[in-house]
Structure 1
Amino acid sequence: MKNAILGTDLSAASDKIIDNAIEFKLLGVRKIVLVHILNLRSTDDFSEYDLGSAQEKIDSQKKRLLGMGFEADTKIVMGVPAMELMRQAKIQEAGVVIIGYRGSSWSKSTLGATASEVLHNIKCPVLLMAFSHEPDPKETEELFKEEVHHFEKFVRQFRQKEPKVELLHKIVNQHVLLTTDFSDFSENSFEWLKTHMTSVPKLTILHIQDAVRIKHLENRLEEFNQIDTARLERLRKEFRQVHPETVISNVLLYGNTKQLIPQYIKDNHVTLAVMGSQGRGYISEFFLGSVSLGVARLASSNVLIIPFNKKLKP
């Protein structure tokens, strides 16, 4: 992989992604195309849009990427954000689309609001960079008290004032979690991770015996555990052949998949969760699996969703 699309809303959240962009070299990224989208669905974006200011800001972000050793380009376009990001990914032959989520919800940004839509239209890997996004309540309260008698001025200042924002995990590869149900989609994600990640200090390969799916077969749980333990060991050995330096752990759990994965991520300080866009029993390649979508919404980590690619299938 060489090219990446990075969706930028030119906010403080986007700046934080740019500041941490050196991490994307771990995915084999050499060129980053910054894409800023003027949302056709939002009339507010048009009424207050300043093209000159936007160009100046995106050029500044590009300059910082160049300083990190990336090739870089910029695009300011009009369109529907989710569709436009995927269209630009196709034009640029990008290997991954990078966007922030949770980090822009206080602004007029469209990226936070459309992260789910991007995933539902996934055509290439999508890396979601997780943010903390709690506003500073004291700062907001003080500003309100100061301007309570000048409401219009307060509104203008408040709109311009963004809360403090930080990436949850600046070191993306510190602890990578690969979830698998041993489907073709999961095997595809495993191959992608093994092939594209240049450095993985710590990897956990997680399989969950879905309590809902096998409830009527609980009497065979021990048998399934033995089979899946062997499958996990196969994956561990294959990954070790390519990444001998990686510390690899296999984890086998039983329970509700949608609940256990986010909880495991939180409890074990996972920095990047890697999973297929679908699992067993998928309906269509154009619909994101319910487990993948649930993890993307709830995970306290960066999330990398990999769509199926027949070329990667072993």
Structure 2
Amino acid sequence: MFSTVLIPTDLSPASDSVAECAGSLVPLGMKSIVLLHALGLRHLEDMAPALEADARPKLDAQARSLRRTGLPVEVVVAPGVAPQEIDRVARERHASLVLLGSQGASLASELRVGSVTLETLHRSKVPVLVARVTCQPSDEGATTCRALASRILHPTDFSDAAERAFAYVRALVKGGARSVSLIHVQDRRRPHGHSQDKLADFDRIDRDRLGRLADELRTTADVSMDLAYGSPIQEILRCAAKMPDSLIVMGTQGRGFIPEVLLGSVSHAVARQANAPVLLIPAHRGA
């Protein structure tokens, strides 16, 4: 599924922890790793050799750690700012997944993993796995990336983007995921003016849709369904809090998408706030 995985690093302790997630991707088909460090230069490219030399010891240490997976690791040092370089290297190396952290540290504001994550999600044409990083007082990082393929939480709004994400859920189940929780949240702030009968019709239609998805998975996994009401972000986070060992899989562009607005605001908010790792599947976009 994810044969070539691109792992951007800012060389912080948090990025050490993100790199440790790589081993959990081997069951998902990972066959090679590209470790990328962006120097963050917008100008003064002549500084690149000195900055690369300074970064090399830490970068080589991270590469050695990744090679413990038994897979080949290519190290790439790029001169530009992280989001642009991640997009370029992902295309050039035909990456099938980008692995990022939701918290990091760096001397340059462009390299803060939080901001890099948001812009990468906006740009990426391949799935992005956001690993939640919790930095300890000792500056050491910890992630929640264990057993990624065992338990899945899949929020859906039944959009084309959600259907694309569900294809990855099917593949994860085929690869060994044991349980899947499906959730659809009806935002009751929206259907003003509808009668109770009409709202009941919405419930029935959405339960039927969830049932269709569940039927595709039940031959090989335990499946539960949840039709929730309220804020999509809060309800998804509520479910995720009850499933701390889950992998959240969702699309980044749902119904009502406006290109000028932050892409997939619900999925981005979940990626920022959930304690579980979040696999975000982009919608098809033009080149």
Check whether TM > 0.5: yes
Q: Does 1:205 align with 2:205?
A: no
Flag the 1:54–1:7 CA change in 2: closer, same or farther, 3 A. same
Superposed displacement of residue 285, structure 1: 9.7
Pick which of 230-239 and 14-23 moved more: 14-23
- Post-superposition shift, 1:287? 5.1
Q: CA 1:270–1:221 in structure 2 vs 1: closer, same or farther (change >3 Å)?
A: farther
Work out whether residues 14 and 105 of structure 2, in 8 Å CA contact, stay in contact via their aligned partners in 1: no
Q: State whether residues 131 and 167 of structure 1, in contact with CA within 8 Å, keep that contact through their aligned partners in structure 2.
A: yes
| Aligned 1:1-314 pairs, distance under 5 A | 1-40=2-41, 50-102=51-103, 104-105=104-105, 108=108, 109-133=111-135, 135-136=136-137, 163-195=139-171, 198-217=175-194, 219=196, 220-241=198-219, 244=220, 246-284=221-259, 288-309=263-284
1:250 is displaced (CA, Å) by: 1.0
CA-to-partner distance for each residue in 1:164-223, whole Å, 9 max, x for gaps? 321134332343111101111101100122125622122111101111222332522222
Deviation of the 1:306 alpha carbon: 0.4
Q: Which residue of 2 aligns with 1:142?
A: none
TM-score w.r.t. the length of structure 2 is 0.87
Amino acid at match of 2:141: V
SS of 1:176's partner is: strand
Counterpart residue type for residue 230 of structure 2: G
TM-superposed deviation, 1:240: 3.2
Whether the aligned pair in 2 keeps the contact of 1:81 and 1:110 (CA below 8 Å) is no
Q: What 5-or-longer segments of structure 1 have no aligned partner?
A: 137-161
Greater shift, 2-11 or 163-172, is seen at 163-172
- The 1-side partners of 2:71 and 2:194 are apart by 52
Extract structure 1 runs of 4+ deviating beyond 6 A: none
Alpha-carbon distance in 1 for matches of 2:119, 2:127? 14
Max Rg structure? 1
CA distance in 2, matches of 1:226, 1:269: 29
Q: 1:148 matched to which residue of 2?
A: none
Give yes or no for contact 1:28–1:196 (8 Å, CA) kept in 2. no
Residue by residue over 1:259-311, the C-alpha shift from the partner in whole angstroms, topping out at 9 and shown as x without a partner, is: 2111221133253211111111212399512211221222121111101249x
What secondary structure does 1:39 align onto? coil
- Partner amino acid, structure 2, of 1:75: V
Measured at CA, do residues 279 and 218 of structure 1 come closer, stay the same or move farther in structure 2, by a change above 3 Å? farther
Take 2:59 and 2:165, find their aligned partners in 1: how far apart are those partners? 32
| Aligned-partner residue type, residue 162 of structure 2 | S
Question: Residues of 1 paired with 2:156 and 2:114: CA distance?
Answer: 27
Which whole-Å deviations, capped at 9, do the CAs of 1:236-265 have from their partners, x for residues lacking one? 121235xx1x22111111111122111221
Deviations 1:13-35 (A, max 9, x none): 22222233111123322111000
Classify the secondary structure of the residue corresponding to 1:216.
coil
Contact persistence 2:7–2:19 (CA under 8 A) = no
8 Å contact 1:31–1:70 — kept in the other structure? yes
